[in-house]
Amino acid sequence: MKIGFIGLGNMGGPMAHNLAVAGHDVSGFDTAGVKIDGVTSVDTAQAAVVGADVVITMLPNGAILRAVADQIIPEMKTGAVFVDCSTVDVDSARAVAEQANAAGLGAIDAPVSGGIGGATNGTLTFMAGGGADAFATAAPLLEIMGQKSVHCGESGAGQAAKICNNMILGITMIGTCEAFALADKLGLDRQKMFDVVSTSSGYSWSMNAYCPAPGVGPDSPADNDYKPGFAAELMLKDLRLSQQAAESADAATPLGQAATDLYAQFVENEDGLGMDFSAMLPRFSKLGR
Ligand code: NAD
């Protein structure tokens, strides 16, 4: 397939590379001039999409996605499919899909879970929203870049799944970190805390797979001085998207709001910027009640 790939950053770069390695003809564009092995680099977004069967975007946010969509949709060939893999607000995802559909294109939102490791190793999970035909066209490419893709529903459903998942993740990480900080003050050994909770009803991905306590559980950013991994500011971005969505859908998400406020405090007023999102544990350890 001929593929246009726009946004070749930490995630998009390795994703585009994997498509090229699998034998697809990939043209890539990034405003930072990034070059990726195996990917033909072009000077404009428009040049990347001309003649492409599928165009994939992996961009920082919804405003940038909308601006790029305005540039590329008029240049895409009729019947081509626009696959946005960025994490953006549901409203932007739906607006871009409508714009693409109106121009005779297929469109899906297909945000990912799995981080930079998943992008590099081709083991991402995709959660997609949009028409069945567009999803069927994109599916073989998603299979190269990931190990699982779920078609969640109509446009925006992929983004809805992504922000709900990450809202749970933010909340459980905070809960796990504050429980460790409490356990410390109660004199409970961290390893014993892990041994109990990881096999009891308090278990979660945050405890079992990404334990925020150094030296306990599987290897995680806590064992690497809390270098990200998944940066606290990216968690804050996703939590804010969840609250934007909750507001527009009139949904009660009090813990999602509390988690958003805590990550905002950590990233914007404390030393959380550039730290992994599990560095909430040393943050709580420093605090008293
Ligand atoms: P990144 O900042 O490394 O990459 C974004 C790239 O987009 C940059 O290289 C930037 O130069 C480029 N860009 C910006 N504006 C552009 C434009 N107008 N035209 C072309 N290129 C442009 O970010 P990332 O970590 O690759 O994340 C990309 C998306 O994936 C985000 O929406 C993020 O929330 C999501 N995501 C990231 C992770 C992760 O672990 N990093 C995990 C899941 C989802």
Q: Are residues 109 and 176 in the same domain?
A: no
Distance from the CA of 289 to the center of ligand 1, in angstroms? 38
User: At 206, which CATH number?
Assistant: 1.10.1040.10
Say if ligand 1 is within 6 A of residue 11 CB: yes
Burial class of residue 37 (count of CB atoms within 10 Å of its CB; 0-12, 13-18, 19+): exposed
Q: Are residues 17 and 127 in the same domain?
A: yes
Which pLDDT value is given to residue 257?
98
Which pLDDT value is given to residue 115?
84
Q: Are residues 120 and 178 in the same domain?
A: no
Record the pTM: 0.92
Say if ligand 1 is within 6 A of residue 42 CB: no
User: At 145, which CATH number?
Assistant: 3.40.50.720
If one counts the domains in the chain, the total is 2
Q: Are residues 67 and 191 in the same domain?
A: no
Q: Are residues 11 and 78 in the same domain?
A: yes
- The domain in which residue 205 lies consists of 160-286
Say if ligand 1 is within 6 A of residue 80 CB: no
Give the span between the Cα atoms of 233 and 60, in whole angstroms: 12
Which pLDDT value is given to residue 20?
98
- Of 5, 8, 10, the one to substitute when testing ligand 1's pocket (max ligand atoms within 8 A of C-beta) is 10
Which pLDDT value is given to residue 117?
85
Which pLDDT value is given to residue 177?
98
Distance from the CA of 262 to the center of ligand 1, in angstroms? 24
Which pLDDT value is given to residue 288?
86
DSSP state of 249: H
> Atom 40 in ligand 1: which residue has the minimum CA distance?
115
Q: Are residues 143 and 246 in the same domain?
A: no
Which pLDDT value is given to residue 230?
87
Which pLDDT value is given to residue 199?
98
Distance from the CA of 110 to the center of ligand 1, in angstroms? 14
Asked if 266 and 181 touch (Cβ cutoff 8 Å), the reply is no
Q: Which of 148, 162, 227, 286 is catalytic?
A: 162
Q: Are residues 138 and 189 in the same domain?
A: no
Give the span between the Cα atoms of 112 and 62, in whole angstroms: 15
Look at residues 153, 176, 201 and tell me which one is the last residue of a structural domain: 153
Look at residues 138, 153, 168 and tell me which one is the last residue of a structural domain: 153
Is residue 162 part of the annotated active site? The answer reads yes
Compute the Cα dihedral for 140, 145, 148, 152 and give only its sign: negative
Look at residues 153, 176, 210 and tell me which one is the last residue of a structural domain: 153
Say if ligand 1 is within 6 A of residue 34 CB: yes
- Of 30, 49, 75, 236, the one to substitute when testing ligand 1's pocket (max ligand atoms within 8 A of C-beta) is 30
Distances (CA, A) of 190 to 29, 185, 203, 281: 47, 11, 14, 12
Q: Show the DSSP H helices in 146-269 as ranges.
A: 157-185, 190-197, 205-208, 232-249, 254-264
Distance from the CA of 168 to the center of ligand 1, in angstroms? 22
Q: Are residues 30 and 134 in the same domain?
A: yes
Q: Are residues 143 and 190 in the same domain?
A: no
Q: Are residues 89 and 214 in the same domain?
A: no
Q: Low-confidence residues of the chain, pLDDT below 50?
A: none
Asked if 65 and 88 touch (Cβ cutoff 8 Å), the reply is yes
Distance from the CA of 203 to the center of ligand 1, in angstroms? 31
Say if ligand 1 is within 6 A of residue 126 CB: no
Q: Are residues 196 and 145 in the same domain?
A: no
Say if ligand 1 is within 6 A of residue 22 CB: no
- Give the helix/strand (H/E) hosting 252: none
Say if ligand 1 is within 6 A of residue 5 CB: no
Which pLDDT value is given to residue 242?
96
Give the span between the Cα atoms of 154 and 132, in whole angstroms: 9
- Candidates 244, 245, 243, 237; CA nearest to 272 is 237
Distances (CA, A) of 159 to 154, 165, 234: 11, 10, 15
One-letter amino acid at 7 equals G
- Candidates 265, 270, 263; CA nearest to 231 is 263
Which residue carries 């601006």 as its tokens? 67
Which pLDDT value is given to residue 229?
85
Q: Are residues 28 and 100 in the same domain?
A: yes
Backbone phi and psi for residue 256, each to the nearest 5 degrees, phi listed first: -60, -40
Give the span between the Cα atoms of 132 and 263, in whole angstroms: 37
Which tokens is 75 given? Answer: 């240049």
Which pLDDT value is given to residue 249?
92
- Of 31, 86, 126, the one to substitute when testing ligand 1's pocket (max ligand atoms within 8 A of C-beta) is 31
Say if ligand 1 is within 6 A of residue 276 CB: no
Which pLDDT value is given to residue 116?
85
Distance from the CA of 217 to the center of ligand 1, in angstroms? 30
Which pLDDT value is given to residue 144?
98
